[in-house]
Amino acid sequence: MAVTLPQIVSDMAPFRDPHKLDSKIPVYTGPVRETPFVGTKVMLFRAEMKGKSAVSYLTYVQFNNVSFTDEKDATHKFPIDVEGKTKWWGPININDSTIRIYDSCPDFRFRFSKELYDVGALIGNWKRYTPVPGSTRGPVNPQERLGICKHTWSLLNLLKKQGKIVEK
């Protein structure tokens, strides 16, 4: 089962209001890297995000059903190099494009990765959470809601501000 970003945000809302997440976490090193997979109509965005802590986290967001063309036109305005040739893409409509996500932060891994894995929206494999011996802490997502962490939310807001993703 594939999901879209609005479906994830809608499912997450009763558990954690995404609009209260910090949407201004900066990209830590270099620009957001964009990797196209033209043959499968996939665009992968990768960024190293760093908030207030000294630790940085890798954030990946993959959109499926992305349209690429050989020529620039009104709906394909972003150039990208594909094996030495320029292709054009974007903006990606988040209502029509399914999404896959990964973030290396503990909040994402312990709170949302299993749920995203179950619906086919996790990039990579899910690793079972093992509680610290002696801990009385309960489940971190007892309602098993889909969701994203603040690093992913910040990257998505950056892509939206750049006009690379839109909601139509």
Q: Is the pLDDT of residue 17 over 70?
A: yes
* Pairing state between β 165-166 and 92-93: parallel
Look-up of token digits 């399914």: 98
What pLDDT is recorded for position 64?
95
Average pLDDT, rounded, for the chain = 88
What pLDDT is recorded for position 133?
76
What pLDDT is recorded for position 134?
76
Q: What is the mean pLDDT of residues 36-48?
A: 94
The model's pLDDT over 114-166, given as tens digits with 9 standing for 90+, comes to: 999 999 999 998 776 666 677 776 677 888 899 999 899 999 999 999 999 99
Quote the radius of gyration of the chain (alpha carbons, Å).
17
Host domain of residue 44:
5-166
The span from the CA of 106 to the CA of 53, in Å, is 13
What pLDDT is recorded for position 1?
64
Look-up of token digits 């890297």: 33
Give the number of other CB atoms < 10 A from CB of residue 41.
Answer: 15
Quote the number of domains for the chain.
1
86 half-sphere exposure, CB direction, 13 A CA radius: 7
Note the pTM of the prediction, 2 decimals: 0.89
Backbone angles phi, psi at 26, to 5 degrees: -80, 155
The span from the CA of 89 to the CA of 75, in Å, is 8
Q: Is the pLDDT of residue 101 over 70?
A: yes
Q: Tell me what percent of the residues of the chain surpass a pLDDT of 70.
A: 93
Q: What is the mean pLDDT of residues 13-41?
A: 83
